[in-house]
Amino acid sequence: MAGLFKDKKTGRYFVSYMLRGKQERRSTGIKNKAVADTIRGLVGTVVDSIDRSLPVDKAILRRLPRGIRASFAGTVLGAAPKFTLAELLDKYHAYIDTELAPRSRSTYRERIVHLVRFLKSTKRENLLVSEFDLALIDEYKTSRLDMGVGKTTINNELTHIKTLLNWAVERKYLDVAPISRIKHFRVETGQPRYLTEEEFQKIYECSSVEDRPILLVMAYTGIRKGEAVRLEWSDIDLKKKLLWVRNKPGHPSKTGTERVIPLAGKAVEALKSLRRDKTDVHVFLRLQRSGIRHNGLRMNFKRARIRAGIEKAASINTLRKTFASILAQKGVEMALVSKLMGHTNIEMTMTYYAHLEPAKSHSAVEKLDF
């Protein structure tokens, strides 16, 4: 049996029922009593089947709201095979290795591995995925916070956990996602850290001769580190002063779109200063060495910042933000900044950089006269 009651504050109906000897109360998300009562009847049918050890009609499960459906995860008889997280990840990794680009594969693996380690550290590595619940996720979030991990990073990890569970449902490795309402941390969007022209000059002067052309081109084009690593001479036209960011086999751009960036005079000079052999394909040969490509450039940048006496944290990615920030301060239209950055929509650009063009706002307001 299942009961039905109305929440006085929201006007939505909730269903109450006994499951595994525990009282469950789940929202239908519905304000219409007739529709909510139909859901109550379906829930009663499912509960009755479980109590009598009978298979549950999957068609009925699919008609239930996600939150209610999730409460039956791991209980439905005749359901999909049961997996531990490690077992499910074996199948998931096989999928992403064939379907995703190398960069995406690495990201997906890195963001799930922390949950694997958490389960091992709490001796729950044999816990079935169908038995995951919000209490487990809350514990995981607290554990990551205690380790000093930022809320934004944890939110990204939670998103990937949810993606994994939804993927398992689609592939019928799970009947329903055991956690349908993973709550993310509320994170305020802060202003991006960018270098002033003076700060960049100091870091540039404290950098090695080998790193200087890389830093200058990145700061004057806004390209990402990965795009700098894969930049080829065929992507550059020094006469027309243009640089193309193209999708490469196995390495599409972050947004999957290509873009062209005009080269400022200093960027052209930096590129011309590079030693180039006719057989060279990549522009920055230094970045083809695995140590420099992965961590070397990042560490070199940090050391140069420290030598320059700049205490405020900044990373190699700050050069990209510096490019956009200085353009905004110089009065370049947001639409053009967005295009040069390769953002998928101008809203992203406006969120981070619109505050840097106050002069335009003032001139617009000055036109008011009524």
Residue range 140-144: average pLDDT?
A: 93
pLDDT at 65: 85
The residue written with tokens 């999730």 in the block is 70
pLDDT at 131: 81
- Does residue 117 sit within a domain? yes
Helix (H) or strand (E) holding 118: helix 102-121
Decide if pLDDT at 174 tops 90: no
Kindly write down the DSSP assignment for every residue of 264-330, as one continuous string: PHHHHHHHHTS---TT--BS-GGGGSHHIIIIIHHHHHHHHHHHTT--S---TTHHHHHHHHHHHHT
Decide if pLDDT at 121 tops 70: yes
Residues 337, 203 share a domain: yes
Cβ 270 vs Cβ 217: under 8 Å: yes
Cβ 18 vs Cβ 24: under 8 Å: yes
Decide if pLDDT at 257 tops 70: yes
Residues 32, 96 share a domain: no
- For the chain, give the percent of residues with pLDDT over 90: 28
Q: Among 70, 96, 123, identify where a domain stops.
A: 70
pLDDT at 77: 47
Q: Please tell me the distance from the alpha carbon of residue 327 to that of residue 358, in angstroms, as a whole number.
A: 13
Contacts of residue 37, Cβ cutoff 8 Å, sequence gap at least 6: 4
- pLDDT tens digits, one per residue of 69-92: 877 765 654 555 678 888 888 888
Q: Among 127, 153, 170, identify where a domain stops.
A: 170
Residues 127, 42 share a domain: no
Residues 317, 231 share a domain: yes
Confidence label for 243 from pLDDT (cuts 50, 70 and 90)? very high
Q: Please tell me the distance from the alpha carbon of residue 134 to that of residue 141, in angstroms, as a whole number.
A: 10
Decide if pLDDT at 292 tops 70: no
Decide if pLDDT at 176 tops 80: no
Residues 218, 144 share a domain: no
Residues 156, 59 share a domain: no
With b meaning 16 or more CB within 10 Å and e meaning fewer, what string describes 193-213? ebbeeebbebbbebbeeebbb
Decide if pLDDT at 253 tops 80: no
- Does residue 97 sit within a domain? yes
DSSP designation for 100 = S
Residue 59 burial class via C-beta count within 10 angstroms: exposed 0-12, middle 13-18, buried 19 and up: exposed
pLDDT at 110: 84
Q: Among 36, 70, 104, identify where a domain stops.
A: 70
Residues 112, 215 share a domain: no
- Does residue 305 sit within a domain? yes
- What SS3 state is found at 57? coil
**Domain residue limits at 59:** 2-70
Task: Return the closest-CA partner of residue 12 out of 58, 72, 67.
Answer: 67
Residue range 204-213: average pLDDT?
A: 94
- Does residue 248 sit within a domain? yes
Residues 303, 266 share a domain: yes
With b meaning 16 or more CB within 10 Å and e meaning fewer, what string describes 297-311? beebbeebbeebebe
Residues 329, 263 share a domain: yes
- Does residue 189 sit within a domain? no
Amino acid symbol at 36:
A
- Does residue 365 sit within a domain? no
Residues 340, 234 share a domain: yes
pLDDT at 368: 53
Q: Count the Cβ atoms, other than its own, within 10 Å of residue 14.
A: 20
Residue range 141-152: average pLDDT?
A: 89
Residues 201, 98 share a domain: no
Whether pTM exceeds 0.75: no
- Does residue 65 sit within a domain? yes
Q: What is the mean pLDDT of the chain?
A: 83
Structural domain count of the chain? 3
pLDDT at 287: 81
Decide if pLDDT at 191 tops 80: no
- For the chain, give the percent of residues with pLDDT over 70: 88
Residues 149, 13 share a domain: no
- Does residue 370 sit within a domain? no
For residue 236, the domain's CATH number is 1.10.443.10
Residue range 1-30: average pLDDT?
A: 85
For residue 119, the domain's CATH number is 1.10.150.130
